[in-house]
Structure 1
Amino acid sequence: MKHLIKSYLNFLWNSTNQHGVHSPFVFNLVTKCFYDKKQYPEYSIIKKYRNSLLENKKFIEVTDFGAGSRVFKSNKRQISKIANTAGISPKRAELLFRITNYFQPESVLEIGTSLGLATSALSLGNESAKITTLEGCPKTQEIAKFQLENSKFQNIKFVTTKFEEYLSIYNLQPTTYNLIYFDGNHSKKATLEYFELLLQTITNETVWIFDDIHWSKEMEEAWEIIKNHPKVTVTIDTFQWGIVFFRSEQVKENFIIRI
């Protein structure tokens, strides 16, 4: 907790809004997407999906994985409590929808389905996109799949897998992802491993979103390594998320933006 407080105070001290941004690309993203105040009808669908989970009092066996996909915890948890504590917040879900809607990615990868709250935002952001979502816990994925399909989300491919195994074995070479949302393992080792494995899938227009970049000192170290990678040109730190771009026409810059 002390680490997060210290990191957040540092973030506030160094962050800016659109007035401190001199890159046209980032300025447009901030003003037309991040700070977009329009009340999209999709927000009510995301809220309805969340409520369907919050009303579900069923208990399921949840399996959590540590480094190297090692099982380190398995216990029974109530679906409503998972949705309330472990899922993406309503505000962040709306932002994820806006980012997806803004960039209109054709191919999306989500690492860490959980109960599908972020998945619903990604799906609604571009209903013609092909979305692949990975989850390590079979029971959690089963609930997400059932709830999303029952709510008429139709552009999602569900894969139950250990992330490292999937990304290592799956033939990524001919694959491109226009947007990747990393929310599966908040450790330095796993984050950097996923980063390296997925570099071969990038295009000039690819957007990567890393969740909880200030969660721990190790995650902040991982974020610094990602920012300094030669293929990365623009990064945006919103405190909870680190957003990465690979646009070759952009000057290498790192932004810290309040949202």
Structure 2
Amino acid sequence: MNVFPFNYTWQETILFYRFLRHRKGFGVHSPFAFSFITKVIDERCGYYCYQDIELIRRQLEHKGNKLARKDIKRSHGELLFRTVNFFKPKKLLQIGSPAGIASLYLTAYASDVNAIVLEKDEASAETTNWSLQKYHSKVQLYPGDYEQTLPAALQDLGKVDFVFFQASHEKEKNRFFLEETMKHIHPDTVFFLEGIRENQEMRTLWQEICNRKEVSLTFDLFHIGIVIFQPRFHKKNYMLYF
């Protein structure tokens, strides 16, 4: 399995990712992985929802709301949308939502999803609620401390199809998020993690995720990690420049 070279400088690491052999699907023998890389990760076609979601971000910024800048960057949001559009999950969970922008990218592909978004910060929860209402989204927002809302959300969802979370600055929370959600996965569950190199703790946690026996495929995009649990695939970590 390929693992991140921890002793590289940031400049060397970026160059390393740019010239990985899996770019554009080169050297990928798995039909599933090749399809996912070429049709999702490397896809650059615009979708109808991108402009609508970014308009909501601009409206928040125009109102002076600084939380919109802390939410998912546009290129990552578009990848998030393409990923859920590819897998078509029905039960989705998002942990942490600065302004609701990622929530919209997460759920815009379909109107019949059962999606729960958790946010403990009161101002972020209010902003997320505004964004969801502006987009006429049916996402359920659970405000409050994660120690209470995460177990409640997982109980309400049962087995989860798709989990998205951004690295928390409260480092101990990241492991809590992982361990709790791992109790509710099934073979077709997908994890989408943003900020896998946000700090040393997240870099270590990402390497541990790649090595877990439940995990089959991982797609390491430097800032983003995508995790596939389907046991029919041979264990492999694809490192790509995104």
TM (norm. structure 2) is 0.88
Aligned mates of 1:15, 1:234 — CA distance in 2? 17
Aligned mates of 1:233, 1:139 — CA distance in 2? 38
Q: Which residue is equivalent to 1:21?
A: 28
Q: Which residue is equivalent to 2:83?
A: 99
Aligned mates of 2:19, 2:42 — CA distance in 1? 20
Q: Which residue is equivalent to 1:32?
A: 39
Q: CA shift at 1:223, angstroms?
A: 0.6
Q: Of residues 189, 200, 207 in structure 1, which corresponds to 2:183? A: 200
Q: Which residue is equivalent to 1:164?
A: 147
User: Aligned ranges for residues 142-181 of structure 1 at < 5 Å?
Assistant: 142-153=126-137, 155-168=138-151, 172=155, 175-181=158-164
Contact kept? 1:164, 1:194, Cα under 8 Å: no
Give the AA of the match of 2:86: Y
Contact kept? 1:100, 1:126, Cα under 8 Å: no
Aligned mates of 1:91, 1:220 — CA distance in 2? 21
Aligned mates of 2:233, 2:171 — CA distance in 1? 27
Residue 220 of structure 2 corresponds to residue 237 of structure 1: yes
Distance 1:137 1:173, change over 3 A: closer
**Contiguous gaps of at least 5 residues in structure 2:** 1-7
Q: CA shift at 1:232, angstroms?
A: 0.8
Aligned mates of 2:143, 2:43 — CA distance in 1? 34
Residue 146 of structure 2 corresponds to residue 140 of structure 1: no
User: The residue matched to 2:226 in structure 1 has which SS?
Assistant: strand
Distance 1:4 1:83, change over 3 A: farther
Q: CA shift at 1:207, angstroms?
A: 0.6
Q: CA shift at 1:160, angstroms?
A: 0.7
Q: Percent identity?
A: 26
Higher share of residues assigned strand: 1
User: The residue matched to 2:117 in structure 1 has which SS?
Assistant: strand
User: Aligned ranges for residues 190-229 of structure 1 at < 5 Å?
Assistant: 190-229=173-212
Query: May I ask how many residue pairs the two structures share in their alignment?
Result: 234
Give the AA of the match of 2:42: Y
Q: Of residues 11, 14, 32 in structure 2, which corresponds to 1:8? A: 14
Q: Of residues 83, 93, 97 in structure 1, which corresponds to 2:68? A: 83
Q: Of residues 15, 40, 56 in structure 2, which corresponds to 1:49? A: 56
Aligned mates of 2:203, 2:185 — CA distance in 1? 23
Contact kept? 1:172, 1:198, Cα under 8 Å: no
Distance 1:15 1:139, change over 3 A: farther
Aligned mates of 1:201, 1:256 — CA distance in 2? 27
Aligned mates of 2:11, 2:165 — CA distance in 1? 23
Deviation digits for residues 136-185 of structure 1 (CA, Å, limit 9, x no counterpart): 101211121023212322x2000112223333466639711111001151
TM (norm. structure 1) is 0.83
Aligned mates of 1:188, 1:20 — CA distance in 2? 36
Q: Of residues 87, 99, 115 in structure 2, which corresponds to 1:115? A: 99
Give the AA of the match of 2:145: K
Aligned mates of 1:162, 1:4 — CA distance in 2? 34
Give the AA of the match of 1:82: L
